[in-house]
Amino acid sequence: MRGPHNILRLIRTGATLERTGAMNVVLDAFDAPKSLRFVARTLGWPFKWLGYKGDPSMPPATRALTALGPAYIKFGQVLSTRPDVVGDELALQLRVLQDKLPPFSVEEAKAEVERELGLPVDQIFSEFSEPVAAASIAQVHKARRADTGEEVAVKVLRPGIERAFRQDVDAFYLAARIVDTFSPGSRRLRPLEVIEHFDGVVRGELDLRLESSAASEFDANTKNDEGFQLPQIVWSLSARRVMTLGWADGVPLGDNAALDLAGHDRRALGERVLRVFLMHALRDGYFHADMHQGNLKVAANGDIIAYDFGIMGHIDEYTRRVYAEILFGFIRRDYKRVAEVHFEAGYVPPDKDVEEFARALRAVGEPIFGMDATKISMGRLLSYLFEVTERFGMETRTELILLQRTMVVVEGVARGLNPQINIWEAASPIVTDYIRKSVGPRAVLTDLTKTARVMARFGPRLPGLVENALINQAQLEPSHRPQGFWRWIAITAICSAIGGAFFVLLLDWLL
């Protein structure tokens, strides 16, 4: 698919950017050099009449992407999570991108369901509505199961969406190579890596079994969380192009008038949505990365219901501890400790000065703490923090960018419910509890236990590994044996003995 024919797609893209006025916005966001601007203009301006007009009421960038179709809309959504690539201003525009397209017919949706599930729709569902939501990749129908009478949501991929995305993604790869060729200075933005990341995200969303799996894992992690619930996946009625889950019945979290009319406490809801996000990010390392008002409802009993699991964030355990210590250090205004954590984690090169870095962090934190408590923003703090760490040579970490982006969205949701919310007061119990469990003596014992289990698992193989090493080395001439060979053998044997003894003592203590 990749080849010169994709130039035609890029010409149409450039023409649409020119016609909608988005060309300068995009080039400025990427800080494009003159050579790249020349190529972009060459592909766009002469063919401006070929470009789509789009909706004049939209900002230029969102207008252009919406006019170009599903793949471009999704690309804009993905780029909205990467302000490090497109800049804060464009990321903000893309964040509010309306992911809505004309729906396809209910007859086509039913045909897809029948092909995927292997049964006539009338045998599976006693009711099957017109589309209730239509997005770039799929649309949703409300239905009722014929066997149980349960109301469900049925998500169906658009017909032919895989081929359409494949064609546009091929053109994106060509564009990235053009940027690499004509703008060596822009390689710091890693355009090919950005397209590869987008390609991976889209491939995941084009297989609804993966979204079902994400929802199932998220549910397993959060099933005991008070005041929070998820619709249940119906695995027997889900497949690659169809996903069925329980109907989320409730008041949209962004409709304050309806929430007040239903008697819900918006102050409590604002604190809870912030706390559940932090709890999932820190405790589980697996969080809903698209927690805007459109994906959240409030049940009749006051529980927050989350749905749409196409974008999920993952953070490994070590990074979670670092992130929590950074937040905790800022909460206590201990900038020296925050600086030390960055150096210990290897985020900042060791040749930098920790004291100077601590002073730079103080310049980030103090102005924020000087604000009224209700105006303090954790998302703004993280944004300033990344600016400082970039100046000290910290490389971009995609998982933290996604975390920061979601934090900003969640803060916006919380403040929409309660403009006077104190972000630090709401977050402090979650962060403090995580620090207590994950950084103190209890965490040390947990880490040692995990280490002992790993050593025990490999214990039966250690004698064989040592024996093979001895045999292999015995076959070498003495002059060919590496220096410190016998020292290595001795250390291996001692470590094995210590590990085994520690594991035995630990088991004895636990039992």
**Residues known to be catalytic:** 290
User: How many Cβ atoms sit within 10 Å of the Cβ of residue 375?
Assistant: 13
> What is the C-alpha to C-alpha distance for residues 152 and 131, in angstroms, rounded to an integer?
13
SS (H, E, C) 248-292: CCCEECCCHHHHHHCCCCHHHHHHHHHHHHHHHHHHHCEEECCCC
Q: Which stretches within 370-476 are classed as H helix?
A: 378-391, 398-417, 423-438, 441-458, 462-474
> What is the C-alpha to C-alpha distance for residues 491 and 495, in angstroms, rounded to an integer?
6
Cβ–Cβ < 8 Å for 237, 244: yes
Nearest to residue 157, comparing CAs of 76, 215, 195, 211?
211
Specify burial of residue 227 (Cβ count, 10 A radius: 0-12, 13-18, 19+). Answer: middle
Contacts of 309 (CB under 8 A, 6+ apart): 211, 214, 215, 218, 288
Helical pair 441-458 and 423-438, crossing angle rounded to 10 deg: 50
Quote the DSSP letter at residue 233: B
Cβ–Cβ < 8 Å for 73, 164: no
> What is the C-alpha to C-alpha distance for residues 355 and 339, in angstroms, rounded to an integer?
8
> What is the C-alpha to C-alpha distance for residues 37 and 24, in angstroms, rounded to an integer?
9
β pairing state of 304-306 and 312-314: unpaired
Per-residue buried b or exposed e for 404-429, using 16+ beta carbons within 10 Å of the residue's own CB: bbbbbbbbbbbbbbbeebebbebbbe
Nearest to residue 336, comparing CAs of 362, 370, 311?
362
β pairing state of 151-157 and 228-229: unpaired
β pairing state of 286-288 and 228-229: unpaired
Written as one letter, the residue type at 72 is Y
The structure tokens 């600016």 sit at 387
Both structure tokens of 300 = 């009749």
Cβ–Cβ < 8 Å for 454, 462: no
CA 336 to chain centre: 29
Residues in a beta bridge with 127: 144
User: How many Cβ atoms sit within 10 Å of the Cβ of residue 344?
Assistant: 11
